[in-house]
Amino acid sequence: MRHRNIVLIAISLLCTFGLSGCDKPGSAEQAGKNIDEAASETGKKVDETIDKYESKVSEQGAESAQVWADTEVTTKVKAGLLGEPGLKSLQISVDTVGGVVTLTGKADSQANSDKAGAIALAIDGVENVVNQLTLTATQ
């Protein structure tokens, strides 16, 4: 839709420049040159606009893909933590940004904190783990 609007604007500009060339004194050849120049300039501007638009769409697509990948990693880490016996996984929050997993919350021992970090690191797509779990005394 946006591309079609740009083309319509370009055609309108082309016609306007062409008609303005016909009003000037001189030969039809000069008017034709004016039309050619206007068409060339308009084509360049349309191409630049389309290139910028395509670049933005590509950037947004890449950002969306990263968000989906991070969401998938977070889900896999949470599932891995839930499946680990003895680990109080409901007290552990998982956040993933750019493949870096951050664990926050509470662990009842250093061993369980380390275990949670190792489980997260073993998940495909995890680049690094930032383990910010705090230790709480068992009751």
Domain boundaries, the chain: 2-62, 65-135
Does domain 65-135 bear CATH number 3.30.1340? yes
Residue 134 clears pLDDT 90, i.e. is over it: yes
| pLDDT the model gives residue 30 | 74
The string of pLDDT tens digits covering residues 68-120 is 889 999 999 999 999 888 888 889 999 999 999 999 999 999 999 999 999 99
Q: Rounding to the nearest 10 degrees, give the CA dihedral for residues 82, 87, 89, 94.
A: -100
Helix (H, G, I), strand (E, B) or coil at 134: strand
| pLDDT the model gives residue 89 | 82
Which has the higher per-residue pLDDT, 5 or 107? Answer: 107
pTM of the model: 0.58
The string of pLDDT tens digits covering residues 11-48 is 666 666 555 555 555 666 776 777 777 777 777 777 77
- Average pLDDT of 129-136? 94
| pLDDT the model gives residue 25 | 56
| pLDDT the model gives residue 95 | 94
**How deeply is 9 buried, as exposed, middle or buried, from its count of CB atoms within 10 A (0-12, 13-18, 19+)?**
middle
How sure is the predictor about 130, in pLDDT bands with cuts at 50, 70 and 90? very high
Are the beta carbons of 129 and 138 closer than 8 angstroms? no
